């Protein structure tokens, strides 16, 4: 079924009465209501998913691939309704690398999960010994998603899980449940009953999911602090885990970079989704020789990017999704300003305005140990740190206990590759930042998590390897 607009789609997922109100972070207006579910609902969902799993696995890869591609067709048929709902609930604008982009990415990643064959791998075949590695379904996968990219990250979790013969129980963020409920509703118009379950509850539901004895694996994207709690609660049942945790990604500009040429890509590396992205550029190290030029070029680009309510087609930056995140950004910027750092742009929120809008903010001449540099801001504020050379930048980049992504900016690819090899991060981009690809494995280093998503490695991570010898 294709829904004409977000309101029609909302009506399909609303509780008959009651429920928790979800408000638009740009306007404070009511978006919709979500049913209040609890641990008992989670138990029922797991029972249903567990019962459905053997038949889903028995369909085989070819039929599961067909159904997942049909589910991607359903997303595309409802793309505008999904994007409008996402914009209203999460806050991100329709245009730019935002709501329509996210819905398109959800369909693309769903199709990408069908693009690989997962064949048995011969390990030894020497005439005397034969052994092969097979990849079997795990059972029921529990998926815990965030509020920043609620639809696309849900697909990152559910698509490979379903492809490999598992069933899935999802718990969306309490901040953005409607987007994920709508997505699952659209997918379930194609998928068999109970293969994909969703329970929109609070912390109680998340804790129950991460410790449930019938959940074989947890996929989680979110903060390092919450990730550690999930790791602890999953230990007694020895669950498999894929943890994509907090990042504070460093960008390193080399002396040979062209400030004008890289300015717009630097901006989007840092400010995509208004900075609310785990693998966004969150601290930028620039050598003295071109520091002023980079600051000037980046400020010019940032000034030209309109911020406002997401349903306004002109905007490409939106509000922070929630008050708690707004307060974090405001506190970190205030610390930087109070320390004597230079404000190039922003840092002057209108406290009387509706919505959680924090202005696009660039902070220069900041101490490398300032909180805005060492703590993840997860919002539209970028510190630009002056360094003597790439060696100093590398030391600063590696000094923190996180390492999701990083980037190197240079006109000399070989030189950039040499610097990239010294950075402790799961992914290092050259002359871009955060440009993920469904074909390319993605995962964190240090306390930014473990396990790989995307590509063939991501599919194998949702399976139990089994060696058959003989």
The catalytic site residues sit at: 244
- Interatomic CA distance for residues 93 and 314, integer angstroms: 9
State the Cα–Cα distance between residues 354 and 26, nearest whole angstrom: 7
Which distant-in-sequence residues (6+ apart) come within 8 Å of 256 by Cβ? 410, 411, 412, 415
Instruction: Enter the tokens of residue 323.
Output: 């008050």
Question: For residues 366 and 178, what is the distance between their CA atoms, to the nearest angstrom?
Answer: 40
Question: In angstroms, rounded to a whole number, what is the distance separating the alpha carbons of residues 231 and 228?
Answer: 5
- 3-state helix, strand, coil split of the chain in percent (to 5) is 40, 20, 35
Closest CA to 282 of 247, 317, 334, 328: 247
- Sheet-wide strand order for 463-469: 121-125, 130-137, 463-469
The torsion angles phi and psi of 253, rounded to 5 degrees, stand at -95, 130
* Length of the chain in terms of residues written: 470
């Amino acid at each position: 079924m294709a829904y004409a607009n977000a309101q029609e789609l909302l009506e399909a997922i609303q509780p008959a009465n009651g429920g928790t109100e979800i408000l638009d972070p740009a306007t404070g207006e009511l978006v919709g209501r979500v049913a209040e579910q609890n641990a008992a609902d989670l138990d029922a969902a797991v029972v249903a998913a567990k019962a459905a799993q053997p038949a889903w696995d028995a369909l085989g890869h070819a039929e599961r691939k067909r159904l997942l591609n049909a589910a991607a067709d359903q997303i595309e048929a409802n793309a505008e309704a999904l994007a409008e709902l996402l914009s209203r609930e999460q806050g991100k604008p329709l245009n730019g690398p935002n709501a329509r982009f996210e819905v398109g990415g959800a369909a693309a990643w769903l199709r990408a999960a069908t693009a690989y064959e997962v064949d048995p791998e011969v390990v030894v075949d020497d005439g005397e010994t034969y052994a092969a590695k097979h990849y079997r379904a795990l059972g029921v996968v529990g998926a815990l998603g965030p509020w920043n990219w609620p639809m696309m990250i849900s697909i990152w979790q559910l698509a490979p899980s379903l492809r490999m013969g598992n069933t899935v129980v999802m718990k969306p963020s309490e901040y953005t449940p409607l987007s994920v409920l709508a997505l699952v509703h659209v997918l379930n118009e194609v998928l068999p009953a109970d293969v994909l379950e969703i329970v929109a509850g609070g912390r109680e539901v998340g804790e129950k999911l991460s410790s449930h004895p019938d959940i074989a694996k947890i996929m989680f994207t979110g903060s390092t602090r919450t990730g550690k709690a999930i790791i602890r609660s999953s230990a007694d049942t020895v669950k498999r885990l894929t943890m994509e945790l907090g990042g504070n990604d460093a960008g390193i500009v080399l002396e040979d970079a062209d400030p004008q040429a890289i300015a717009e890509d630097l901006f989007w590396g840092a400010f995509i989704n208004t900075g609310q992205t785990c693998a966004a550029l969150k601290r930028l190290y620039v050598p003295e020789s071109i520091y002023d030029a980079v600051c000037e070029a980046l400020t010019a680009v940032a000034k030209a990017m309109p911020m406002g309510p997401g349903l306004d087609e002109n905007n490409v930056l939106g509000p922070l999704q929630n008050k708690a995140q707004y307060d974090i950004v405001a506190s970190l910027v205030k610390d930087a300003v109070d320390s004597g750092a230079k404000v190039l742009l922003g840092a002057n929120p209108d406290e009387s305005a509706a919505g959680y809008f924090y202005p696009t903010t660039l902070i220069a001449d900041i101490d490398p140990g300032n909180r805005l540099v060492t703590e993840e801001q997860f919002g539209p504020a970028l510190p630009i740190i002056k360094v003597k050379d790439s060696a100093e930048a590398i030391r600063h980049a590696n000094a923190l206990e996180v390492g999701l992504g990083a980037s190197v900016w240079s006109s000399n690819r070989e030189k950039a590759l040499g610097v990239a090899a010294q950075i402790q991060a799961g992914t290092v981009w050259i002359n871009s930042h955060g440009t993920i690809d469904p074909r390319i494995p993605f995962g964190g280093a240090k306390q930014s998590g473990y396990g790989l998503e995307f590509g063939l490695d991501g599919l194998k991570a949702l399976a139990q390897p089994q060696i058959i010898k003989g």
